[in-house]
Structure 1
């Protein structure tokens, strides 16, 4: 550590992310770090999810906590290279104000093009330079019938790791599949769970540093474009909504600012992206615009908010994509647990908006991929016929919340284990096909459903 500080080197210990990839642009996000490696994992977790690791002191210095990665002042240079194009973004300083993070939208890219990425960091001119490399593909144009394969996942708590050296097995398994992009549907970190339980902005930022420093995540995201959504635990606390009480010194507004700081996202939390002729994907926001969960249900009680609903209807009804996929941080069909849950569209608390949304989505032949639930399922709404695919938690250790024996009529598939979901869009003898594949944490397909247009 002393040698690293003495030679004024900086590092990309938490890697970098390529966000919001379109036909012509992408957002590059990274953070400069003081040390080449995070603080080693030194505590032992307990045998139940969300328990404090054994002998963990929540008041210990944050820079000594498991997975801690201190930031560093310095500057960053970005270079993107394709077979016929080179784009360079010259040296830009990062500082403590935004946790030494860097976020820049790169424009002028070409559709359906492979780009190599090179990031260089240094303390200043004449100081040692550190480089990292990655790559990605831009989205194809709306008339392109190239096959598309993408992955999605949800709910990852640092202490639910299933590989003590690399973090989470699903990231290495997804990397082998070489998806065009990945959707992380929220609860990327858990502020309101121990190891540490967040009380300050510094501790909240630490959660991101520790998660991003796992090698499996770091390597995956440096070569897989990301569309990220937030849910409650990576914003503030369980079932968060505007006006929810602070978590220690962390307010709802603080959590919102940190999420935009720590992720490769643009100005709008809801957005849609076309990936060729046969696929359009919508990413929605379920925390910033919602009503208080506890108020009585009515036509005005909402999760999405009026502005987002209007945007969604306009973009959906103007789309001519063969297949339309809505990726939601929370369930829309479910079924969800009947007791103690009043936070999503499959719950009674939002029944009015939920019934409208399910009917509307089914009318427009939309498929739903959802996060938040810690078990895998494929379900069909008995009223509207809307289909929903739940990815399950990031590891088997993190899975739970439903009984494997409780198979309901809505369930076409139920598995109370961890894993991820993949969606494949392709053509066979000219016929467009979409396929949803549930994988376990070891990369084995455990369920698949196929639909032809």
Structure 2
């Protein structure tokens, strides 16, 4: 009976109880549903050795990001806050709709891929609810742990259906604003029941203390610690995600293919860990259709870029030639009512002028930035951007291109701009944490899209409404 109770509590995300013996395995870092289309989805999970992470015990500095005081970067990882050791064993994943059951075989996981299992499910039905059951065990004779969730596939491209999703960026473990749950925005977003979530990068920060991720093992630890927060655990088991990377969850500030290692962690290590920890299999740039009215483009801004500090010119690029060609081809072929670019970095800005040279709103990429803003405006594309630690709605004065910045996941993480510095481009400016939600629906003869900014507690702080006659 005791074993059954432990597994049930784990399934609902309470993280109670303690490991009974070495035959037990757990899903302490949860799982993610990724890259959902109308016919497919990718699931990623990890077997764990303990039912809960190491609790926070360091005091924190009273300043932006709230880093820990006197943190020993050389202590054993198993003693660090958020630590969740992996466990070898077997995993089985099942998807069930009202009339279909799809299951994998029991599959071994090991330390080679950080005890993770990633599987793509194809042949799914559009706009269909699927229940998820993930089981884990040490071996065929050992107890079975279980975790459950659910998601809905995207509607077909010709279906006119309402769409509601959320988007966020920039989360550092020590910037948490709920000592038990982790980050308030995840519970606030979960209450809104989004169909999916866009996470635009800086999911973790390798180059901030507590620890500094100077090795592959320390970098992996950052993912374990973040994913084991109960708020994230609960949110992602019922909310499909499209994750993008930026500099801090790849290597270090302003990371690019020309970056030197961060301690022992190389740029190539960062790419490998990203692909290991995120439910993505194919190219890092991709597009997703959600019915007749919505199509999103998730672009890659780190893998194909020129050296940030090289002179600007027509050859200098963030996206790269191949990605630009793909983007133009797919955007121009789309008949979606609303086209949305989801970018890890700003396109419009404005951004700080001092010390910033790695996005399209900076002068260092002025040539490509000017072209991109004009092209997006000509194609009636709207932009959601990450990377900035404040919320805003900006309109480019030259092209009319609109950009919506989500803001960081907590108020502790908000910085980099002053509230009184409202520029002509700003329709809305708020230097605090929160998230963005997007709502699309039909109203008589109009298709309507709403971009809604929320604070960390889920209170609406701004709404922009755009209508299009259909």
Q: TM-score, normalised by structure 2?
A: 0.95
Matches within 5 A, 1:325-336: 325-336=340-351
In the TM superposition, what is the alpha-carbon distance from 1:45 to its structure 2 partner? 1.4
Does 2:133 match 1:112? no
More displaced 10-residue stretch of structure 1: 359-368 or 51-60: 51-60
Are 2:40 and 1:63 equivalent residues in the alignment? no
Give the paired residue count.
453
- CA-to-aligned-CA distance 1:35-75 (integer Å, 9 cap, x gap): 00001111121111346411211111011100000000001
Q: Does 1:43 align with 2:58?
A: yes
- Evaluate the alpha carbon distance shift between residue 3 and residue 394 of structure 1 in structure 2; reply closer, same or farther with a 3 A threshold: closer
| Whole-Å separation in 2 of the counterparts to 1:4 and 1:440 | 37
Q: Is the 8 A contact 2:446 2:467 kept in 1?
A: yes
SS of corresponding position for 2:367: helix
Deviates more, 1:221-230 or 1:51-60: 51-60
Where in structure 1 are there 5+ consecutive unaligned residues?
Answer: none
What is residue 257 of structure 1 aligned with on the other side?
A: 272
* Distance in structure 2 (CA, Å) of the matches to 1:208 and 1:44: 21
Q: Quote the residue 2:357 is aligned against.
A: 342
Q: Larger deviation: 50-59 or 399-408?
A: 50-59
What is the distance in 2 between the residues matched to 1:31 and 1:369?
30
Q: Distance in 2 between matches of 1:405 and 1:160?
A: 24
**Which of 415, 419, 426 pairs up with 2:441?**
426
Task: Give the conservation status (yes or no) of the 8 Å contact 2:91–2:137.
Answer: yes
- Residue among 245, 249, 260 paired with 1:245: 260
2:96 corresponds to 1:81: yes
Conserved in 1, the CA contact under 8 Å of 2:287 and 2:295? yes
1:9-56 CA distances to partner (integer Å, 9 max, x unpaired)?
100000000000001110000000000000111112111134641121
Describe how 1:13-412 pairs up with structure 2 within 5 A: 13-50=28-65, 52-412=67-427
Give the conservation status (yes or no) of the 8 Å contact 1:5–1:34: no
Shift of 1:383: 0.2
8 Å contact from structure 2 (residues 436, 451) kept in 1: yes
CA positional deviation for 1:2: 12
CA contact (8 A) 2:18 2:51 kept: no
User: Do 1:50 and 1:194's aligned partners in 2 also have CA atoms closer than 8 Å?
Assistant: no
Give the TM-score of the pair, scaled to structure 1.
Answer: 0.99
Task: Give the conservation status (yes or no) of the 8 Å contact 1:50–1:193.
Answer: no
Paired residue secondary structure (1:59): coil
Cα displacement string for residues 92-138 of structure 1 (whole angstroms, at most 9, x for unaligned residues)? 11001000011010111100000100000000101000000000000
Compute the displacement of 1:210 (Å). Answer: 0.1
Query: 4+ residue stretches of structure 1 with deviation over 6 A?
Result: none
Shift of residue 3, structure 1, vs aligned partner: 7.1
Question: Could you list the runs of 5+ residues in structure 2 that have no partner in the other structure?
Answer: 1-15
Deviations 1:169-206 (Å, cap 9, x if unpaired)?
00000000010000000000000000001111100000
